[in-house]
């Protein structure tokens, strides 16, 4: 006996998926925004820091990169509030986790980007009399951003997919919406087909848009 | 032809005075007590074999490299260090101010790749000289026209030929109205057919009285455009004087003779 696909129940609850997709995007955008700040600050610090600071930043990066994201999500949502006597809701907890997570990856991206800025450009900045901060903002940073843009796009796409992990702490993003519909309609194949398509289309759409941005900012 | 300022220079303190300059990279002594003066309006060319310390010397003058001992004074003021109960490195702001008065043009152009030709010239004018956007733009257009690139003001470096990029590099340096211009083998990275357009710009700046200390392997150009030639070997000044004298000394200075022999065939 074959399984008959029936999408009617999916469409009836489609607002759950649509709302979930929007929330997923919001979580990804917020997290990468905060992650970029973390990454920039730590990478900038790293390239000019002494051995101790480098070791501390290195330890953060290594820790985050070697612990599964889902574990970090549990730690921050269930562990930290108990340990530190804090209170926050699940979406806040997840954004904090994903920010710290993406920050660790972006430190590496930005650090290698900063180190890839040709020495000669920095010399030229010195030679016209720019101060260290002016050299950083007007010479090093703009070139570094252009160098790292492709890696930044890839990180963002990954983060968008990683938002599905938020379903484990009941954040009503796209994957959680899919689970809800499955529990309530038992149309497991249909709902995951639709949701997979939604992740794919959104992911490719983002990638296409970001590649356009990269091309706009590419310098030879 | 440019008139020599040799006679006048002797009575005044030179604009740039380098005395007993030494510099090591680790164990390697790259500059070994270099003495060199450049008078206001004078064009001095440094020649010498690769590795003799020419680039290092120029980079010390605007403190892109630190130096170990000796002194470098511009208008009587020590470049990298001050005397504060011992030899103390100047603060970054002070160094930035000193560097702003010392223009530099690099072998590899080193333009800011994300900025247009005009923006490359404007950056220092705006951030260091404090000019308004309109003033800086006007100055940039003026200097780009001077180097024959008025029509390329809004091009990115990547859209320009090597010769054009180097002329933007020159415009960026001279727009700051430096007291002295340092030029380090500025045509060495160019295709031969693009060398002439860049040297022409240098020649016209010299004719207008710009003080210059340059390194070049274009011996014929050095002979025609400089007041003095300094031959460096092994981190020392091995010969110095008016071009005719230095180039003639090749007959009794073996190292200089050997160095120049490489150029004879093509340039003389
Ligand atoms: N940053 C550096 N670190 C170590 N050695 C250097 C550095 N820069 C230059 N040197 C060495 O100093 C010597 C002089 O170099 P340089 O001033 O570039 O000579 P030139 O410009 O006459 O070819 C060379 O032996 C070179 O290898
Ligand atoms: Mg050199």
Q: How confident is the model at residue B33 (pLDDT cuts 50, 70, 90)?
A: very high
Check residue A171 and report its DSSP letter: -
Ligand 1: which atom is nearest the Cα of residue B59? 17
Distance B22 CA to ligand 2 centre (A): 17
Evaluate if residue A78 carries a pLDDT over 60. yes
Give how far A134 is from chain B: nearest CA, Å. 8
> Whole-number mean pLDDT of chain B?
90
Contacts of A132 in chain B (CB under 8 A): 92
Residue A210 · residue A153 · CB < 8 Å: yes
Angle, helices A14-48 vs A174-185, to 10°: value is 150
**B218 CA → ligand 2 middle, Å:** 13
The ranges assigned to domains in chain A are: 8-217
Determine the residue of chain A that is closest to B93 in CA distance. Answer: A131
b/e per residue B130-151 (b: at least 16 CB within 10 A): ebeeeebbebbbebbebbebee
Q: What is the Cα–Cα distance from B126 to B177, expressed in whole angstroms?
A: 13
Task: Give the C-alpha separation, A72 to A216, whole Å.
Answer: 36
> Which architecture characterizes domain A8-217 according to CATH?
Orthogonal Bundle (1.10)
Neighbour count for residue A196 (Cβ, 10 Å): 11
Secondary structure element (H or E) that encloses residue A58, with its range: helix A51-66
**pLDDT tens per residue across span A93-139:** 999 999 999 999 999 999 999 999 999 999 999 999 999 999 999 99
Residue of B21, B23, B25 with the most ligand 1 atoms within 8 Å of its CB, for mutation = B25
- Taking residues A190-213, report their average pLDDT: 93
Give backbone dihedrals phi and psi of B147, rounded to 5 degrees, phi first: -95, 15
Task: Report the gap between the CA of A136 and the closest CA in chain B (Å).
Answer: 13
Half-sphere exposure of B85 (CA within 13 A, CB side): 0
pLDDT at residue B5, as a whole number: 46
Backbone angles phi, psi at A181, to 5 degrees: -65, -40
Contacts of B127 in chain A (CB under 8 A): 130, 134, 138
Using an 8 Å CB-CB cutoff, list chain A residues near B64. Answer: 123, 126-127
Tokens of B45: 């060319």
pLDDT at B98 over 90: yes
What are the pocket residues of ligand 1 if the criterion is a CB atom closer than 6 Å to any ligand atom? B 25, 30, 48, 50-56
Query: Mind listing the pLDDT tens digit for each residue in A27-61?
Result: 999 999 999 999 999 999 998 888 999 999 999 99
- Chain A positions touching B103 (Cβ under 8 A) are 127
User: A3: distance to nearest CA of chain B, Å?
Assistant: 58
User: Are A142 and B128 in contact (CB < 8 Å)?
Assistant: no
Instruction: Report the DSSP beta bridge partners of residue B78.
Output: B73
Query: At residue B260, does pLDDT exceed 90?
Result: no
Q: Is the pTM of this model over 0.90?
A: no
Beta partners for B16?
B38, B74
**Cβ-defined contact of A146 to B114 (cutoff 8 Å):** yes
Sign, Cα dihedral of B52, B53, B58, B64: positive
Q: Residues of B with CB below 8 A from A219's CB?
A: 113-114, 156-158
- B241's torsion region: left (phi>0), alpha (psi -120 to 50) or beta? left
Atom of ligand 1 nearest to the CA of B215: 21
Q: Cβ–Cβ contacts within 10 Å for residue B154, how many?
A: 10
The alpha carbon of residue A96 and the mean position of all alpha carbons in its chain are separated, in whole angstroms, by: 11
- CA-B184 nearest atom, ligand 1: 21
Rounded to whole angstroms, the Cα distance separating A114 from A30 reads: 24
Nearest CA to ligand 1 atom 6: B25
Ligand with the closest atom to the CA of B28: 1
CB atoms closer than 10 angstroms to residue A163: 26
- Encode pLDDT of B55-84 as tens digits: 999 999 999 999 999 999 999 999 999 988
Please determine, for residue B12, whether its predicted confidence score (pLDDT) is greater than 80.
no
Run of H or E residues at A209: helix A188-217
Q: Looking at the CA of B27, which ligand is closest? A: 1
- pLDDT score, position B256: 85
Whose structure tokens read 């990279």? B25
Does A129 contact B124 at a Cβ distance shorter than 8 Å?
A: yes
**What DSSP assignment string belongs to chain B?**
-PPP-HHHHTTS--SEEEEEEEEEETTEEEEEEEEEEE-TT-EEEEE--TTSSHHHHHHHHTTSS--SEEEEEETTEESSEEESSSEEEPPHHHHHHHHHTEEEE-TT----TTS-HHHHHHHHHHHTS---HHHHHHHHHHHHHHTT-GGGTT--GGGS-HHHHHHHHHHHHHTT--SEEEEESTTTTS-HHHHHHHHHHHHHHHHTT--EEEE-S-HHHHHHH-SEEEEEETTEEEEEE-HHHHHHGGGT-HHHHHHHHHHHHHH-
Tokens 């209170």 -> residue: A87
The two structure tokens encoding residue B94: 């002070």
**Sign of the torsion angle spanned by Cα atoms B2, B3, B7, B12:** negative
**Over pLDDT 90: what percentage of chain B?**
80
**pLDDT score at B1:** 41
Q: Which of A65, A11, A35 is nearest to A160 (CA)?
A: A35
Residues of A with CB under 8 A from a CB of B: 118, 120-121, 123-132, 134, 138-139, 142-143, 146, 217, 219-220
Query: pLDDT band at B10, cuts 50/70/90?
Result: very low
Kindly report, residue by residue over B215-255, the tens digit of the pLDDT: 999 998 999 999 999 999 999 999 999 998 888 877 778 78
**What 3-state DSSP class applies to A88?**
coil
For residue B262, how far is its CA from the centre of ligand 2 (angstroms)? 17
CB contact under 8 A, B106 and A146: no
């Amino acid at each position: 006996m074959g399984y008959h696909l029936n999408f009617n129940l999916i469409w009836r609850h489609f607002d759950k998926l649509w709302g979930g997709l929007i929330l997923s995007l919001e979580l990804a955008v917020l997290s990468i925004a905060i992650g970029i700040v973390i990454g920039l600050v730590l990478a900038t610090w790293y390239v000019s820091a002494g051995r101790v600071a480098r070791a501390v930043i290195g330890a953060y990066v290594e820790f985050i990169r070697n612990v599964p994201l889902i574990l970090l999500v549990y730690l921050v949502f269930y562990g930290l509030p108990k340990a530190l006597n804090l209170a926050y809701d699940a979406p806040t907890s997840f954004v904090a986790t994903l920010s710290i997570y993406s920050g660790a990856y972006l430190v590496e991206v930005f650090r290698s980007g900063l180190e890839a800025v040709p020495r000669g450009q920095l010399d030229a900045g010195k030679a016209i009399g720019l101060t260290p901060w002016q050299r950083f903002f007007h010479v090093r940073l703009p070139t570094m951003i252009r160098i790292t843009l492709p890696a930044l796009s890839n990180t963002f796409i990954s983060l968008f997919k990683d938002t599905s992990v938020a379903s484990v702490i009941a954040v009503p993003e796209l994957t959680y919406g899919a689970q809800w519909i499955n529990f309530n309609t038992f149309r497991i194949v249909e709902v995951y087909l639709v949701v997979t398509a939604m992740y794919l289309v959104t992911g490719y759409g983002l990638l296409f848009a970001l590649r356009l941005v990269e091309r706009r900012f590419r310098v030879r | 032809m440019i008139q020599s300022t040799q006679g006048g220079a002797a009575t005044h303190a030179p604009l740039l005075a380098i005395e007993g300059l030494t510099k090591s990279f680790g164990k390697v002594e790259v500059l070994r007590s270099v003495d060199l003066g450049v008078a206001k309006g004078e064009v001095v060319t440094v020649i010498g074999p690769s590795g003799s310390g020419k680039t290092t010397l120029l980079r010390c003058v605007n403190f892109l490299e630190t130096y170990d001992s000796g002194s470098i004074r511009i208008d009587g003021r020590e470049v990298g260090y001050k005397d504060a109960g011992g030899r103390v490195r100047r603060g970054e702001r002070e160094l930035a101010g000193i560097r702003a008065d010392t223009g530099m043009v690099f072998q590899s152009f080193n333009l800011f790749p994300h900025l247009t030709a005009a923006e490359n010239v404007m950056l220092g004018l705006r951030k260091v000289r404090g000019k308004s956007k309109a003033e800086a733009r006007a100055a940039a257009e003026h200097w780009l026209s001077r180097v024959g690139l008025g029509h390329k003001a809004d091009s990115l470096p990547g859209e320009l030929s090597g010769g054009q990029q180097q002329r933007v590099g020159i415009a960026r340096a001279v727009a700051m109205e430096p007291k002295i211009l340092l030029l380090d083998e500025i045509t060495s990275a160019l295709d031969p057919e693009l060398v002439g357009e860049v040297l022409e710009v240098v020649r016209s700046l010299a004719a207008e009285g710009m003080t210059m200390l340059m390194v070049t392997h274009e011996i014929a150009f050095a002979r025609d455009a400089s007041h003095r030639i300094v031959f460096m070997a092994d981190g020392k000044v091995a010969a110095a004087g008016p071009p005719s004298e230095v180039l003639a000394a090749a007959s009794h200075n073996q190292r200089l003779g050997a160095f120049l022999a490489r150029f004879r065939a093509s340039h003389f």
